[in-house]
Chains A and B, each alone.
Chain A
Amino acid sequence: MDTTPVLEARNITKHFPGVIANQNVNLTLHKGEILGLLGENGAGKSTLMNIIYGLYQPTEGEILVNGQVVQMRSPKDAIALGIGMVHQHFQLVPVMTVVDNVMLGRESVRGGLLNREAAAVRITELSERYGLAVDPHALVEDLPVGVRQRVEIIKALYREADILILDEPTAVLTPQEIEGLFAVMDLLRTQGKSIIFITHKLKEVLRVADRIGVLRRGEVVGEVDPKTATQSTLAALMVGREVILEVEKSAAHPGAAVLEIADLYAPTDLGEPALRGVTFSVHAGEIVGVAGVQGNGQTELVEVLTGLRPAQSGSIQIGGKDMTNASPRQITEVGQSCHIPEDRHTHGMVDSYPIADNLVLNTYYQPPYARGITVNRAAIDANAVALVEKFDVRTPSVHLNGGSLSGGNQQKMVVAREFSRPIQLLIAAQPTRGIDVGSIEFIYQQIVSKRDEGIAVLLVSSELDEILALSDRIAVMYKGEIIDIVERDVATRQMLGLLMAGVKEEMADRVRG
């Protein structure tokens, strides 16, 4: 291995107003290696990468490329130095073709006009060389997520990048697609490219990285050899203390059916079918996990169940009462159901309201919070103080705006509110998206304890680990249908992965011979 690192970050410190995102970070990357960069959400991984890619300027510290100190004022400088980045949120223009997206900023031009053919030829070359199959003339908006990611990688290779930064590339992929991505990364490495692979998934980083750097609260807290590290040592480094990765829960004792869904149909916002005959039930005292790749109807299912989206046909019964196309308030009051929404900023909280008000969004119109047509401030504040204490929402005051809390604390606030009234059904969609491990642990415990109290829990998540950790039964959604329901005890990661890709077990057996 060449002794000069292709990329080196020295003492990088980055301050945002009121926040230190990176503190004295040192990082080296050698030619032909995959460096795993591990850290929780908010640990400063993305900030660091944005500095290396020229999107942010460091407050202190310097970046060296091939041993030379470099100044990067914009991504243009980074690209010129051979640095390419695949962003967590793809930076592709949906209404343009693959060719236009790839050559944007580095266009092939002939006689003043764009030379799309020449660019398409180069894209085809790259896609063959690195096993990244893609049609250069397809519109990006028509492509599945996995293919879009290939377009992003081609975009970087098109600019002759030698250093590739992959920011949480596996978050949106099925287990099989993740395998495909790892194969591509391997091929890139053997062809001399260097890769920084950012993730918060321990398993993946152990599997694919040559070296692992761990970031916590903006600082590098350790560099680890994946051959000797284990998931629990990594997790402890990442969080700063021992964490319980397995959720402790006893066997479920399911009672009567609480949520019964029969032959449910509903369209997407664009009028295309989102749910196509969904049928299943959730019993008291059990957690049913709905797994699936994002965009297979899970969002619409939760919206229909919570009254946010009308059903076309089919029926929903909660506790024996028909709740098909009932209003959200009927569902919460008569159905005694509560909802931890997928996107807390849109459906879970009002960012610009005080925490105290956010905590009564579902009960503000009832006594003691309402006195006639006025609100009872004292009761609302007392409720807030009690809930903040009970649910460990960390804030100096209940009068601060909800939006000022960290993601984990916002989510705990939502959970606190939803659990603050009597319920028989809990619908939790992506309950731990974008929050820290400590809060995840807390929310898992809360969900399991609700189950043990005899409440029916429907858990929708695109994180397979979450589904496996919490569920008693697992329903897999594919293209708007429940393709199969399996008991947790017999479910394996591989089997669920195949189901998520639309392959039924019997078929898979046949394929295997």
Chain B
Amino acid sequence: MGSTFWKRSSLIAMGLALFLVVMAVLVNLTLLGQFTWLRVIFGISALNFTLRAAIPLVLGALSGILCERSGIINIGIEGMMLAGAFAGFVAKTSTNHWPLLNSLLFSVFIALAVGGLMGFLHAIFSIRFRMDQIISGTVIIILAAGISSYLYDRDAIAQGKFSSVAIPGLSKIPVIGPVLFDNPPITYLALLLVLAVHVALFYTRWGLRTRAVGEHPRAADTVGINVNLYRYVNTSIGGMLAGLAGGYLVLEAVGQFQEGMTAGRGFISLAAMIFGNWNPFGALGAATLFGYTQALQNELLLAGVTTVPRQFVSMLPYVVTIVAVSGFVGRVRPPAAEGKVYETEGGTE
């Protein structure tokens, strides 16, 4: 089976991410480290920043993969993320008096639930009301932005956020340890989810059916699979993952909510999903690449090692995103039935 899943683009994405890790190991452990600019580009601080920037993108891309593999286009990830972030924030501020861990876990749960609800709403629009899925996704984005800014209480303050948990032993590995094994919980969870979604999609009954529904719904229907049920479930789970990405921003990365704080991450997630050719590991590679360009921008400006005007450095993440998605990676192949309403005479609603 293997090779058919690993299309060129996801291999490139994974390859770039791997290159980054190898360079970091070399720079931090060998004589290469004496070059300042190499240390800036491949230092541990750059890698840490990369991972922090990549996590919401990975979760967003996984959200997109779950929806689109079942045939529902999800451009509303941005909105689901924002809704999750806001819901997590509200939950956190109203449980500030609880023990910190309980309050945080409760808030994550709420972020998941609200993200899932937004996903379900998208599914209802797209399936029951046969709305154009691009429009429905846009509605989700506008809805989340409107509600979160209308209800946002500027005086509310969330107290505390998730802190890092070093994994005994593994965190002592040079370079890789501090980058990968000394992180807060949602980061670990997100990385595990990449593996989990990969296994689920390609090695379980649920995944086989999901992919069949996204590729050829009629074929799935004729062997007795409830096409729209799979689409409802997948889109809702996808919404939960986007909600988790929002929860990550509020409860783990920043600790507070700001209006419009997702700042286009949902859209970059979509780019990561496409660049990764709708594969979880491909999306992880792509998210790492996009996260790295943000890190690079940050490190270059901080270290002041470049004479290039800062506007050009700031452009980097966006330029890389455009180049990656504009097809230099070769042909990517979306699920064949994506965006199409599935209707039967009997109606499977």
Contact = CB atoms under 8 A, between A and B. Distances in A.
B216 A92 contact: yes
Given A56-B345, A113-B203, A114-B208, A96 B215 contact: yes
B204 A114 contact: yes
A91 B218 CA distance: 7
A76 interface: yes
A105 B1 contact: no
A245 interface: no
Contacts, number: 85
Contact of A75 (B208, B212, B222): B222
Contacts of B226: 74
A476 B98 CA distance: 81
B346 A56 contact: yes
A27 B319 CA distance: 66
Interface in A117-155: 139, 155
Given A57-B346, A73-B346, A104-B212, A92 B219 contact: yes
B204 A112 contact: yes
A104 B209 contact: yes
A53 B345 CA distance: 13
A85 B222 contact: yes
Nearest to B348: A74
A253 interface: no
A106 interface: yes
A93 B216 contact: yes
B346 A75 contact: no
A104 B346 contact: no
B208 A97 contact: no
Interface in B221-243: 221-226
A75 B223 contact: yes
A79 B205 contact: no
Contacts of A73: 346
Contact of B221 (A75, A77, A93, A114): A75
B215 A95 contact: yes
Contacts of B346: 55-57, 73-74
B176 interface: no
Nearest to A108: B205
Contacts of A50: 345
Nearest to A109: B205
A159 B222 CA distance: 12
A87 interface: yes
Contact of A93 (B203, B212, B333): B212
Given A56-B346, A91-B216, A106 B223 contact: yes
Q: Which of B215, B333, B348 has the most CB of A within 10 A?
A: B215
B105 interface: no
A79 B215 contact: no
A188 to B, nearest CB: 20
Nearest to B215: A93
A107 interface: yes
B30 interface: no
B211 interface: yes
B34 interface: no
B311 interface: no
A103 B215 CA distance: 16
B224 A75 contact: yes
Contact of A74 (B209, B211, B212, B224): B224
Interface in A132-191: 139, 155, 159
B219 A91 contact: yes
A418 interface: no
Nearest to B203: A113
Nearest to A101: B219
A55 B344 contact: yes
Contact of B224 (A76, A96, A100, A109): A76
A104 B223 contact: yes
Nearest to B4: A139
A53 B224 CA distance: 10
A77 B222 CA distance: 11
Given A91-B219, A113-B203, A79 B212 contact: no
Contacts of B345: 16, 50, 55-57
Contacts of A104: 208-209, 212, 219-220, 223, 225
Interface in A1-39: 16
A107 B225 CA distance: 12
Contacts of A95: 4, 215, 333, 336
A79 B344 contact: no
A93 B219 contact: yes
B203 A105 contact: no
Interface in B297-341: 333, 336
B215 A105 contact: no
A159 to B, nearest CB: 8
A87 B222 contact: yes
Contacts of B219: 91-93, 101, 104
B211 A93 contact: yes
A139 B3 CA distance: 12
B203 to A, nearest CB: 5
A92 B209 CA distance: 13
B216 A107 contact: no
Given A55-B346, A91-B222, A96 B203 contact: no
Nearest to A137: B1
A92 to B, nearest CB: 6
A107 B223 contact: no
A96 B211 contact: yes
Most chain B CB neighbours (cut-off 10 Å) among A50, A93, A97: A93
Contacts of B336: 94-95
A61 to B, nearest CB: 16
B115 to A, nearest CB: 26
Task: Among A16, A94, A95, A109, find the residue whose CB has the most chain B CB atoms closer than 10 A.
Answer: A95
Contacts of B215: 93-96
A76 to B, nearest CB: 3
Given A55-B345, A76-B224, A107 B218 contact: no
Interface of A: 16, 50, 53, 55-57, 73-77, 79, 85, 87, 91-97, 100-101, 103-107, 109, 112-114, 116, 139, 155, 159
Given A112-B204, A113-B204, 5 more contacts: A79-B224, A85-B222, A91-B219, A96-B212, A104-B208
9 contacts: A55-B222, A55-B346, A57-B346, A75-B222, A93-B211, A94-B215, A96-B208, A105-B209, A106-B223
Interface of B: 1, 4, 199, 203-205, 208-209, 211-212, 215-216, 218-226, 333, 336, 344-346, 348
